[in-house]
Homo-oligomer: A and B are copies of this chain.
Amino acid sequence: MSSPERWTAARPDTPAATAATPTAEQVIAGLRATSEGGADLVQLLTPEGERVTHPDFDIDIEPAQLRALYRDMVLVRRVDRESNALQRKGELGLWVPLLGQEAAQVGAGRAMKPQDMAFPSYREHGVAFCRGIDPADLLGTFRGTDHGSWDPLEKKFGLYTIVIGNQVLNATGYAMGQRFDGKVGNTDGNGNHADDDEATIVFFGDGATSQGDVHEGFVWAAVYDAPLVFFCQNNQWAISEPTERQSRLPLYQRARGYGFPGVRVDGNDVLACLAVTQWALEECRRGNGPVLIEAFTYRMDAHTTTDDPSRYRLSDEVEEWKLKDPIERVRAYLARNGLAEHSFFEEVQAESDELAERLREACVNIPNPPPERIFANVYAEPNPVLDAEREELMSYLASLEDVHSGGEH
């Protein structure tokens, strides 16, 4: 006996992960699987720019707010494209493009309250933007001048984390701390929800869901009722590996096994991402966390500037997703419904040009760190052994000229 009702069976639209060289049907099925979110997908703005309603996650939004979201996405995309270009010019050693994921990141970023904390992976330039981090401050890591330059506590935005999954446990601990600090589930004098309650949101990818640390984060957050939103950007690819290398099921269903909500949202629909993340963060602030959100989106560019996607994915797939562009649908909706003047779009365009210009400027002017920096902040307290190593390097550097002249030899 083995009936699908009894437990969650693999979706018909997810091809068997062990499929050898795929058949034509499977290729098409695969295309559909990565381009359609399925029945449970939460969407409020269609790719064609039509506003649709949703029974659970609808949202009232002012035209001004929608224009602001549009502006955010345009600026974020410009930052991404400009940084990509800077890498091509040799000004950056590496860049990690977010192209295509603007809606997921701006929707999530704008759903946060100032007191909420975010823990990013390494692709969350859009969330960083929403947290008020100057895009120029993102570049040091990719230029090789620092490992992260902003103050994570001041900006409430953690440093980029490269080891897949690590930040999920760190975010879980931070969220546990919010609860231990009594910042969850409070009410004010009139019995209304206190508006200084806090939540945490952690970002990771579809590939990351396979890591033990992500599972342990799910376990801890559930057991400690942590006010934590697990925000998984399923951009369909982990470098060259499609999502079915990681799971039989749609990733939002992973939450079922832990006993907390899992929601799949159209990650290219900034409205839906905003609505679902606002709801999830509020659930957490009220003490009903954790919550898993799978933002169903697509990595339109290479994994990083060193990657060559043509080796592992079909251009048809990329073409499919171009039709679902997160910015275009908002532009269409704003324009069609007369919610934005032509001048508005021009202003945003001009603003993004300025931003790009500033970014180029800032990038080439990032000072190279001095050699002493190698030893700075390894420890918070004195370490004589390390001090000796620093002195050794310093005296060596001072002596370099002589060595070069080779006089001694």
Contact = CB atoms under 8 A, between A and B. Distances in A.
A7 B262 contact: yes
Interface stretch (A154-162, A218-226, A368-376): A218-226
Contacts of A259: 7-10, 247-249, 253
Interface stretch (A30-38, A124-132, A144-152, A206-214): A206-214
A380 interface: no
Contacts of A172: none
A89 interface: no
A209 to B, nearest CB: 8
A361 B2 CA distance: 48
A366 interface: no
Nearest to A249: B259
Interface string A1-14: 11000111110000
A216 B212 contact: yes
Question: Of residues A6, A210, A219, which shows the largest number of chain B Cβ atoms within 10 Å of its Cβ?
Answer: A219
Nearest to A248: B259
B260 A257 contact: no
Contact of A225 (B1, B6, B18, B216): B18
Contact of A248 (B6, B222, B279): B222
A258 B215 CA distance: 12
A256 interface: yes
A248 B261 contact: no
A253 B215 CA distance: 15
A262 B249 CA distance: 15
Main secondary structure of the interface of A (DSSP, over half): loop
A100 to B, nearest CB: 25
Contact of A210 (B219, B253, B261): B219
Nearest to A210: B219
A255 interface: yes
B222 A247 contact: yes
B288 A2 contact: yes
A8 B222 contact: no
Contact of A17 (B2, B10, B223, B245): B223
A209 B244 CA distance: 23
A102 interface: no
B224 A17 contact: yes
Contacts of A7: 255-256, 259-262
Q: Please indicate which of the listed interface residues A57, A214, A254, A288 has the most CB atoms of chain B within 10 Å of its own CB.
A: A254
Contacts of A213: 212
Contacts of A215: 212, 214-216
Contacts of A257: 8, 249, 253-258
A9 B256 CA distance: 8
Interface string A283-322: 1000010000000000000000000000000000000000
Contacts of A288: 2
Nearest to A169: B212
A349 interface: no
Nearest to A216: B212
B247 A18 contact: no
A60 interface: no
Contacts of A341: none
Identify the 10 closest CB pairs spanning chains A and B, nearest first.
Answer: A212-B212, A257-B257, A215-B215, A248-B259, A254-B257, A249-B259, A256-B256, A1-B56, A17-B223, A10-B259
Given A18-B223, A219-B247, 8 more contacts: A17-B222, A17-B224, A209-B219, A212-B212, A212-B213, A223-B246, A253-B257, A257-B257
21 contacts: A2-B261, A2-B283, A6-B261, A7-B256, A8-B259, A16-B225, A17-B224, A18-B223, A18-B224, A18-B225, A210-B216, A211-B212, A212-B213, A214-B215, A223-B245, A223-B246, A223-B247, A249-B257, A249-B258, A249-B259, A253-B256
